[in-house]
Chain A
């Protein structure tokens, strides 16, 4: 649709699509930029059973209450960011803000669309963990951080949310749109000793 023609992801100027390969070969690290999506920052009383129940009814699955975990529904997923804060991620057109606005009406909450404020970089492959270890102070060993985990952390100087998706391991790295290029450069540089392949997001 015309809309997608006008909209640009943060890394669009890098022309990643043209550089993407289907055959990463020996590359230890696969990098991609995820397409635009709805990212809703949801705030509300995480200590209120009633709020959590209404939220569950609204989105169709429970918001995570265990710190640094992710819950998932059919069309969206929710990352725990704090006791009263979540990040809901869904494909464009889901209209999460509107849905939450209707479902949570009358309660103390804020649902703020931040999909345009972010870039999501996909990082996977056998050396993905080594790449992250160069800038992330968290322990990403499978024993302490596996699929379904997320964390707000720093990659070098960059404030980031990281979430592990699978055992490949594959990570999603959420950063502010304005620092996306710096982040990409950092990760690509850190991965260069393992071989980096750009793949479709």
Chain B
């Protein structure tokens, strides 16, 4: 195709002194600063930009904005690539690279276009009808469908850009910076309101940028400039250009996608946030979102060169680009005549203005007539011709009823067809806000009805299309919104600029423009949804097949489900469905508008919650020591706990074996700071303990500790831990690391809702204390040194006792609490002393071979003792009795949480899963945790399962594998052999007591 320069010498918002180089489908082109990719392509005479989704038909630039169904492109390459962006919304920058999508090998010669030849085989619901049977072939079908479907390609690389989020609060959020929005924002700002004005375009002005309106004897853009300047002077006004309000949620919470560097080359935007998600709470919202021009549905209305009339006008006036050399304007309303006049003024030949209305007398048509433009009233385009661009149209007379055409076809040469079927208010956000739409038959469009939130629509999105009327409505809406937000609006001077507003006669709504052949017969296609290749025949077929609901029809035909979300096809589609069903449009209704208004990037939604910041991490006061010692960390909840401390040449198993040996044979040290700690203060503290724990607490002496099981109301164990009595009415509860917040919430909930008059305060002190556990036969030797001045003998400080003490010289506590089964001390100091305490211990402990041990060694050591762990032995389905811990349930207690559930018959079944030990007959075997236990081994699964392995380790102490398991009726199975089928073998194990080591607890009490 010969390249044509379509740029005007003067006019528009582009900067002719700044030429930008870009590539399109690998070839270099030039555009101007201020261009979009679409306007730059048109300036280079390129109209064919892509292939359609289903039929691979050639498609051209159809619009100049967010409604674009055709010009879907792949932007940039590699990690920066973006699929499915609309060329009409991409601001041109130096070095931009873009390609067509959905075509191969090239957009001009597309292999997939063969689909167009078998179009009859691809009716509405094609996928549903064809790929249903036989169902096992679905996988095969899906593979090919996935390959054939979709448009662009997602990047494979990680996103190199930065995205962030910000909260904003305002009195008035104005959505849309056209004449209405600017007027509303100005009014609200002058009233003193905090205003946010967001507009999706690169500059404010909206439709005024694409028109030649004169305000106060100057170009309207001059008025825009002055208003924006004044708005910028208010400290409480935030102007957000390049910002799309894409979601309207409850309580006037709106989401805005601000594109901060998308208009720059990816390399120029590096280092700063590319996009920002604004989360706005607005007291009042003014929607001034404008309107979207509707196309007409006529034969082969998808040929490149067919374009919305107002968009052609925008390319001309805003971008200084002639979208064609010879145009035919096809309209059902007066408004499109303005486009014809502008085009003619710019030197575009007007082949004719084809108007569906037989009588055309409005001011704009009269002006066109006076301008010498030919008007074919009461006529219709019945065909378009041309391969990759329209070359001519055929026009015939339309019957008065609008149901058929007659007479002789007249052929008109043209390379541009400007269509206008009227205007649809952009009611998306209003609808998202929960407002109900009403249908305006006169203007053939949905307009906002009753508001549900603190919101008002003004201007074109309210069905008010004249510019003077829009300004008036904008001022009024801005004042009303400021007033509703509590500002005084009396006496605020707002004078609208003088602007000409030609009157307009009504439009003629025809769902389908009739042609030579009936819809669905003959070769011509009448497209409703260009993005998804849905034709009028498809919608009618759906109606014939019984689809009545607009929502079902949408999904069946895919009408409005493309990247443009049906911005130009919604109302035309409804009109065809209504006609086919013999109903009125309001009775058919419209589909629900959902966020986002236009697509947003995943990066925007993720914000800074990526990489190291994707989730919070909690570290103990001793973390630095662990990290510097090379500890491998285990994430528990958000905590980073040392898992094991490998020495040079050690793997995990070797490190854990060494750590276990140290604790059993000499002494080990562990950072226990992460355990949850809750202080209970007040005379009723013991009542709380009696309620939340299953055992009794009345007789716990000051200075002593007790272990307890916490049950849910269902009687199931959900947490466990040791509580110490520090004073008369003062207790310190410890919880599991992961359960701390839940336990606090649980108790707080009961105190706030049920035990409201109990005299007790609970306070989380988890973070106040650094706790070090010293365990092993030499523990006392070390602690005696560290806690000089405190008698730590077995008599003075027996197992489960606690004392205030100076620890390594720091104020703190010493307790005898053991989770390893060894003689064990817990030393606690305020967290700021934690590192000092640890290093003091390590220094003093060197002579005893003090060995730091991590959570893995703890797990092994406690399993040897049969001690339970949350998530392993109890998981919300296990009772104290199941765990063999009936001793931890107060039999004589009047009440405790979960007590009643323990009396249910199901809780007393003998065949409940119960905690047992498993001794594998092969001593070297370590069962995988989670393995299923069976009574009888069958040839292949399924086989009846009687339990599962909850914990399993190599016991360095016992030199064999040990396991804990929950087995049906396990307590009665002692000595029985059970089987654990694995993938490649079956292991046999004997059911034993879960306590493998020191069952008498001699070491513990040592």
Find the B residue at minimum CB distance from A176. Answer: B767
Query: Which residues of chain A are near B682, meaning CB under 8 Å?
Result: 108, 110
Q: Which residues of A contact B624 (CB under 8 A)?
A: 13
Neighbouring A residues of B169 by C-beta, 8 Å: 139, 141, 144
Give the contact stretch, choosing among A52-60, A69-77, A186-194.
Answer: A186-194
Of A7, A8, A36, A116, which contacts B769 at CB under 8 A? A116
Complex interface residues of chain A between 143 and 195 (CB less than 8 A to chain B):
143-144, 156-158, 176-179, 181-182, 185-186, 189-190, 193
Query: At the interface with chain A, which of B174-182, B611-619, B649-657, B908-916?
Result: B611-619
Give the residues from 25 to 83 in chain A that come closer than 8 angstroms, CB to CB, to chain B: 36, 41, 43
A36 and B832: CB pair below 8 A?
Answer: yes
Q: Mark B757-775, 1 if CB is under 8 A from A, else 0.
A: 0010101011111000000
A141 & B194 in contact (Cβ 8 Å cutoff): yes
Please tell me which one of the listed residues A9, A133, A156 contacts residue B168 in the complex, with CB atoms under 8 A apart.
A133
B835 interface hit (Cβ, 8 Å):
yes
CB distance from B833 to the nearest CB of A (A): 6
Q: Residue on B with the closest CB to A189?
A: B608
Q: CB distance B273 to A177 under 8 Å?
A: no
Q: Are A116 and B768 in contact (CB under 8 A)?
A: yes
Residue numbers in B under 8 Å from A118 (CB-CB): 767
Q: How far apart are A73's CB and chain B's nearest CB, in angstroms? A: 23
In the complex, the answer to whether A7 meets B767 with C-beta atoms within 8 Å is no
- The answer to whether B907 has its CB under 8 Å from any CB of chain A is no
Q: Output the nearest chain B residue to A181 by Cβ-Cβ distance.
A: B619
Interface size range of chain B in the complex: 35 or more
Q: Are A158 and B767 in contact (CB-based, < 8 A)?
A: no
Q: Which residues on B sit within 8 Å (CB–CB) of A201?
A: none
Residue numbers in B under 8 Å from A178 (CB-CB): 618-620, 638-639, 767
CB nearest to B609 among chain A residues? A156
Provide the bound-state CA to CA distance between A139 and B169, in Å.
6
| A200, CB-defined interface residue at 8 Å | no
**Does chain B have a CB within 8 A of A117?**
yes
CA distance A36 to B462 in the complex (A): 59
Instruction: Please tell me if the beta carbons of B272 and A158 are within 8 angstroms of each other in the complex.
Output: no
Q: Does A20 contact B (CB under 8 A)?
A: no
* Closest Cβ–Cβ distance, residue A196 to chain B (whole Å): 14
Contact string, B595-635, partner A, CB cutoff 8 A, digits 1/0?
00000000000001100110111111101100000000000
Residues of A within 8 A of B273 (CB): 193
Which B residue's beta carbon lies closest to that of A41? B763
- A162 CA / B638 CA spacing, docked (Å): 22
CB distance from B305 to the nearest CB of A (A): 45
Tell me whether A112 and B272 are in contact in the complex, defined as CB-CB below 8 angstroms, given that A8-B832, A8-B835, A41-B763 are known contacts. no
Q: A84-128, CB under 8 A of B: which get 1 and which 0?
A: 000000000000000000000000111011111110000000000
Q: How far is the CA of A185 from the CA of B682 in the complex (A)?
A: 39
Asked if A136 and B763 sit within 8 Å, CB to CB, the answer is: no
Q: Which residues on B sit within 8 Å (CB–CB) of A186?
A: 608, 613
Other-chain residue from A110, A138, A158 in contact with B763 (beta carbon distance below 8 A): A110
Q: What CA separation (Å) do A130 and B166 show in the bound complex?
A: 8
Interface assignment of B167: CB less than 8 Å from any CB of chain A: yes
Determine if B813 is an interface residue (Cβ-Cβ < 8 Å).
no
| Known contacts A110-B761, A139-B169; is-contact A116 B681 (Cβ 8 Å) | no
For A137, the chain B residues whose CB sits under 8 A away are 167, 279
Using known A-B contacts A6-B810, A7-B832, determine if residue A190 contacts B608 with beta carbons closer than 8 Å.
Answer: yes
> For window 120-179 of chain B, which residues contact chain A by CB distance below 8 Å?
164-169
Task: Note all chain A residues with C-beta closer than 8 A to B638.
Answer: 178-179
Task: Please report the total number of A residues contacting B with Cβ < 8 Å.
Answer: 43
Tell me the B644-702 residues at the A interface (CB within 8 Å). 679, 681-682
Interface contact A117-B766, CB-CB below 8 Å: yes
Contact of A179 among B194, B618, B768 (CB under 8 A): B618
Q: Which residue of A lies closest to B808 (CB)?
A: A6
List B contacts of A116 (CB < 8 A): 767-769, 830-833
Q: How far is the CA of A36 from the CA of B763 in the complex (A)?
A: 20
Total A-B contacts with CB atoms under 8 angstroms apart? 114
Contact of A7 (CB < 8 Å), options: B279, B613, B766, B836: B836
Residues of A contacting B168 in the complex (Cβ-Cβ under 8 angstroms): 133
- In the complex, what residue of chain A is closest to B281 when comparing beta carbons? A139
| Interfacial chain B residues near A185, Cβ < 8 Å | 612-613
**A189 and B613 in contact, given A141-B194, A176-B618 (Cβ under 8 angstroms):** yes
- Nearest chain B CB to A127's CB is how many angstroms away? 12
Q: Are A9 and B832 in contact, with the CB atoms below 8 A? A: yes
Chain B hits for A157, CB < 8 A: 615-616
Report B-chain residues with C-beta under 8 Å of the C-beta of A138: 167
| Chain A hits for B766, CB < 8 A | 117
Residues of B within 8 A of A134 (CB): 164-167, 608
Contact A108 B759 (CB under 8 A): yes
Contact B619 A7 (CB under 8 A): no
- CB-based contact A43/B763 at 8 Å: yes
Whole-angstrom distance between the alpha carbons of A20 and B166 in the complex?
A: 28
Q: Are A193 and B165 in contact (CB under 8 A)?
A: no
Chain B nearest CB, measured from A195 CB (Å): 12
User: A193 near B279 (CB under 8 angstroms)?
Assistant: no
| Inter-chain contacts of B612 with A (CB < 8 A) | 185
Q: Find chain A residues with CB under 8 A from B768 CB.
A: 112-117
Contact B617 A182 (CB under 8 A): yes
Binary interface encoding of chain B residues 558-574 relative to chain A, with 1 for a CB under 8 A from any of its CBs, else 0: 00000000000000000
Q: How far is the CA of A144 from the CA of B679 in the complex (A)?
A: 35
A117–B618 touching, CB < 8 Å: no
CB distance from B246 to the nearest CB of A (A): 19
Contact present for B836 and A8 (CB under 8 Å)? yes
Q: Distance (Å) between the CB of A113 and the closest chain B CB?
A: 7
Kindly name the residue among A7, A43, A109 whose own CB sees the greatest number of chain B CB atoms within 10 A. A7
A34 to B624, CA, bound (A): 20
Cβ of A110: which chain B residues have Cβ within 8 Å of it? 679, 681-682, 761, 763
Q: How far is the CA of A117 from the CA of B617 in the complex (A)?
A: 16
Q: Give the nearest-CB partner of A141 in chain B.
A: B169
Q: Roughly how many angstroms separate A43 CA and B682 CA in the complex, as a whole number? A: 11
In Å, the complex CA distance between A135 and B131 comes to 48
Beta-carbon nearest neighbor of A134 in chain B: B166
Whole-angstrom CA separation of A182 from B616 in the bound complex: 6
Question: How distant is the Cα of A108 from the Cα of B758 in the complex, in angstroms?
Answer: 10
Known: A114-B763, A141-B194, A181-B617. 19 other contacts (CB 8 A): A6-B836, A41-B763, A108-B759, A109-B761, A110-B681, A110-B761, A110-B763, A112-B679, A116-B768, A116-B831, A134-B165, A134-B166, A137-B167, A141-B169, A177-B621, A179-B617, A182-B618, A185-B613, A193-B272
8 shortest A-B CB distances, which residue pairs?
A117-B767, A178-B618, A110-B761, A139-B169, A6-B836, A116-B830, A7-B832, A116-B831
- Can you pick out 6 interface pairs between chain A and chain B where the beta carbons lie within 8 Å of each other? A43-B681, A110-B763, A114-B768, A115-B830, A134-B167, A156-B609
